[in-house]
A and B are shown apart, each in its own frame.
Chain A
């Protein structure tokens, strides 16, 4: 991709040629664009796509993906930002081109760290899933073929031979439907999301996937390819970043729009160990409160719990020395031999602080990570109580935390709708006695910081009588933040642009 200064040179293509570039309303972004565009367009495309991906993220948390509400809201956002999503009667070239170029620009901004990559991949996958599910049936086969996916449809004979098993394995497939649909034979490792949930029939290392389930496979493929591509992009990033025109934009993009990772040591040493018991009831989110209680009661936590809770404690400001003292004291109370602790457990604690092994400074887990990965098993206390606890037991727990029955049922409703983080926000509001927590929860350490901010004075936040305009719902609040950041981004870039214009006009 090459960039020109003030000159805008768009390739002018004939009508047919244009459509040939982008034959489908969606794509896998296999080939990078090869045009010249202006810096202004570069910047605008990037910001528009970022807005889109942020919307994808928010909608994914507030609504169940695939529902009517989710789809219509997402569709209107895509339409508003003029990206492609379905085939219309109008000229499709511009939206598809925009989609193509903006994706590659964001790769530059989001390849730089593991967290950024994960976020980017997740939103791009959700976007692709949406686009694929609204693709008309007759367009699917062509799209697959053009995307070079090696899916082999099995013969009718082979299909009949396994008819019972295929029907029994696929949740919504009936015998009549199977008659009409193709079934694809794919190596099991390529059908990860399907076989792990036992939603496909496996035989001798192959998954027999009906067409309707192909979307999961496609997403898997997409994720793998994009992940690899981001790793490659990261390697060529130094060359891109040395371009002074691009460097400020790219770093602004990734810093303004993703959450804090709570790995900075800015707040270390501010907490003392004897505060933890009381903090666990006043400022810890339920997931950490439960882990702390289990640790105090059993004088032990299994690995999943130690990781989740230990990193959280690091995020609230415990030093390595404090952490070692904290865990050792508790485990020794559980009749563990102090030497055994030193040998077996202290290494891992130092490891998670980045003092051993490959010395990665591990970051505290975000809500998404806790909700989506490593579900708890027997004897575990980690995970997200809103996601992983039985509703009955969750109810009892909230009762023990002195939440009223009426408010408890509000929370349980949100849980039923799988809005786990919003449920946790409700819990926050209840224990701090505010009407609106004023933030969109996505990290346990964020919960802690916001709680401390309220309890230790600072500004009077979000009380009904004081600041009426901040009664807005978390989602809207977020948009405000976004547009503020955007305008500051724009203004700083404008300043850069002015200098450039001068340069080129000399």
Chain B
């Protein structure tokens, strides 16, 4: 203690101005010698105190920091002393194990877009010391330290869609690839932990990590990812006593696995019947079978919420004043080199997503929360749903996925050329002429069909590259030999499911959260450095059954994927024996009503229905565990539906 005091003195007790002592002397001049002496002593003391006063600023800073640190350590210590888990709800794994549910079928997890980790294997000089460190997922420290370098390494080549020269960024492998996206933000970790409780471990659980930036076929070309998955499944099948695997894809992983199934029976050399032999069931979580409208807005203006995962991760960076104008451009430039984004564009055109006047969800009423379902169940009891139909005054035109609102800026405003002096980031918009933009905005309305033309005109390179890998139509005749090309494999409307009558396909997704369905756009106000000429008209609000908010029309879904996209194939497209499902594999829909976590302690909730948070949903985990332990869809209870998916699917007229 004494040492500390001395140290403090040393640092900060600089003799302050002697004038203060003099003043003091003046004040006390009248008094006698003795008093003066005494006073001087006191003055000495006072001086010291004065010193205290003078360094109070920096000193109290230190003091406060010290206090905070100490308090923090104390809390940390207490936290460590605390029993590891608060007494709470019993995890599903423990409960099921007690019921005698044990590991049976090997499990393959297929992560979706964005959630898988990427690490650096070879880079430019600016990335020194990052060898085998994560560039994507994890702490994202590099965004802050060297943002430009980071962006450069995450981009792919604009022509080939593969690595740029001298850069090798590869998917992390193993369960760690996608158990946590960032520290504390689980993706698969909960599911893994519960699977482990009923006896799973790495010999019967596999994370099929792949580089989610590449087009699906390119993951095989560059990394042999599909071959590795095939070999791994075969190995697990054999080494676990010839038990078929249960595949659990999430989000874009569902499309990826669709691609895999076609690949493995043709180019992969597995031959017909491979899937029937090796796969018990596919439990798609929040699948993006028919695409998401979100992908449109992110390609068009880098603005949707989901690619703005990025934004959520680093809000400061993206919205700070300095970077503000450039950040979106950077995101756009990088994300447009990622072919996989194109796989998420809405598929099936107007037949599925609706045209100018019609859409399957048109009489959707946006009353969010559980209220809606309660009301529905109530009205089901009554013979009329009078109140319900009363509210539907005018169908919302969800079919217009992109529409240019009336609030768009006037023609003369756009004609002012963007100033090239501010060293702006080059995006493809620089190559698109003003007239084209003008024409685009005058077209006013785009449906799922015309949308692709729109994208082709604003992002010609990306679409050219990616459309060699993905297709978004509906097949007229599936026996047409052209459909053996790999670009059709990930589109469920242009491929047949493999011949596997015993295989089960599940669609598990959350409902009850407003989900982006279509957008109101406007031309950007001319800004100096703005090179993205389009943006969502966030001022557009309106009644539209309450579905339009901030320039976005919402429907039911899991926050990212509308019910239609996640559920249609299992509700109708593949139900029974259709031309897309010639062998009649059984399909099941399991919906999970979103219930927001009641309090902070619940974290991201045990009953969440949100796109990623659903992986912590207890009911979903239980379903996956039961199937993995051998249950069939019928034993689970068949379909479990809260939304209008059946009604919606009825309205979609596709030749089946």
Our verdict on whether A and B bind, yes or no, reads no
